[in-house]
Amino acid sequence: MGTRLGYFLLLLGGGIGLPFPEDLTLVGGGVLSHRHVLSLLYALCAGIVAVFCADWILYLVGRHYGRDIVTLPFVLRHVGTSRLETVRATVDATACGPSSRRASCSASAWRRSSAPGRSA
C-alpha cells in the first residue's frame, strides 16, 4: 500500500512543480510493474490520474489568483522581481507577433503582421 501511495504522491508532486520530473517517475512505474511490485494497471491508472490532478490543481490556482499570483510573498521569494519583469517584458514584446490572433491585439497590428507577402 505504501508503494502505491508513494508512487501516486511522487507523480502528483512532480506535476505541481516539485524538483523531480514526472517522466522519470512514470518510467520508474514501468520498472516497478516489470518487477511485479506494482500492477501494470495501477501504474497506468495512477500515472494518468496523478498527472491530470496536478494539472487541475495548477489550473485552479491560476484561476483563483490570476495575474495577482506574482504578488504573493511565496512566489516573489522563489522567483524574484527581476525575473518576473524579464518575463513581462518578453511577453509584452511578443504578444502581438506574426502568429498571434489574440483579441487584445489591435486590428492594425494584426493586419500588418498577417499581410500577404510577409513571412513569419
pLDDT digits (tens, 9 = 90+) for 81-112: 888 888 888 888 877 665 556 555 554 444 44
pLDDT at 26: 92
Exposed / middle / buried, residue 38 (Cβ in 10 Å: 0-12, 13-18, 19+): buried
| Rounded-to-integer distance, Cα 67 and Cα 116, Å | 35
Q: What is the three-class DSSP state of 38?
A: coil
Residue 111 has which C-alpha cell? 493586419
Which residues does 74 contact at the CB level (< 8 Å), separation at least 6?
none
What would the mean pLDDT of 34-51 be, rounded to a whole number? 93
